[in-house]
Amino acid sequence: MYIKKSLKKYSNDLAAKLPAPGGGSAAALNACLGVSLISMVVNFTIGKPRYCRYQKYLKTSLRRSERLRKRFLDLVDLDVAAYQSRNIKRALGVPLEIARLCFEAIGLCPDLVKKGNKNLISDVAVAAAFLESSFAAARVNVDINLKYLADKKLSKTLGRELAAKGRLVQKIRVTTEERVNEIIRG
C-alpha cells in the first residue's frame, strides 16, 4: 500500500476525503520516525572512542530500534488494511500493538541520553516526544474500537494496561526532556 510510495502520496491520502489512512496509520508512521531517530543516534555513537564502554549496550539498542522501526513501518499499512477489513477485533489489534511497541521503544530513550552521542542528544528528546504522541494516538484508536466491540471485560483490562503504560510513557518523555535540557544548557 504505502510503504513503497512517497511521503507526498501518503500525506495527500491522509488529508483527502478517504476512509484510510487515518489516525492509527499516522501513529505508526510517527512512531517509526521516533525509533528511526533512536537508530540514527545509536549509529552515530557506535565506534566513537568516547563511547567505547557502551558498545554492547549500543549494539543491542540498535537491534531493538531497528526491529521496532521495521514493525512500525509495517503497521502503517496494516492499520489501513485492518480498517478496510471492517473487522473490529483486527482494527483493535493494530493500534493496541502500536501502543505496546511505543511503550517498549520509549524505554530506549533514558539510557541513550547518558550513553549516546551528545551531539545528537536533542534527537533523543524528539524521539521520546514522537513516541509519546504515537502512544496517545494509538490509545484513542484502541478506545474507539473497544466501544464498538462492546466487550466490557476486555475494555476494562486494556484500559488499565494502557493507563498504567501511559503514565510511564509520559514520565519517561518528561524525564528524557529534562535530562536533555540539562545537558544542552550545561
HEC assignment per residue over 86-151: CCHHHHHHHHHHHHHHHHHHHCCHHHHHHHCCHHHHHHHHHHHHHHHHHHHHHHHHHHHHHHHHCC
- DSSP H helix total and E strand total for the chain: 7, 0
Look at domain 22-185 and name its CATH class: mainly alpha
Does residue 128 contact residue 35 with C-beta atoms inside 8 Å? no
Tell me what percent of the chain is helix, strand and coil, each rounded to the nearest 5: 85, 0, 15
For 132-140, what is the mean pLDDT? Answer: 98
pLDDT at 158 over 90: yes
Q: What is the mean pLDDT of the chain?
A: 96
Task: Look at residue 169 in the predicted model and tell me its pLDDT.
Answer: 98
Which band of pLDDT confidence, cut at 50, 70 and 90, is reported for residue 60?
very high
pLDDT at 150 over 90: no
For 70-87, what is the mean pLDDT? Answer: 95
Looking at residue 15, what DSSP letter applies?
A: H
Does residue 41 contact residue 108 with C-beta atoms inside 8 Å? no
Does residue 97 contact residue 21 with C-beta atoms inside 8 Å? no
Does residue 74 contact residue 25 with C-beta atoms inside 8 Å? no
User: Could you tell me which of 167, 145, 153 has the C-alpha nearest to residue 22?
Assistant: 145
pLDDT at 86 over 90: no
pLDDT in tens, 15-59: 999 999 999 999 999 999 999 999 999 999 999 999 999 999 999
Provide the residue count of the chain: 186
For 124-139, what is the mean pLDDT? Answer: 98
Which band of pLDDT confidence, cut at 50, 70 and 90, is reported for residue 186?
confident
User: Could you tell me which of 51, 48, 93, 98 has the C-alpha nearest to residue 73?
Assistant: 98
pLDDT at 1 over 90: no
pLDDT at 176 over 90: yes
Q: Who has greater pLDDT, 3 or 103?
A: 103
Task: Look at residue 101 in the predicted model and tell me its pLDDT.
Answer: 98
**Residue showing cell 542528544:** 121
pLDDT in tens, 113-131: 999 999 999 999 999 999 9
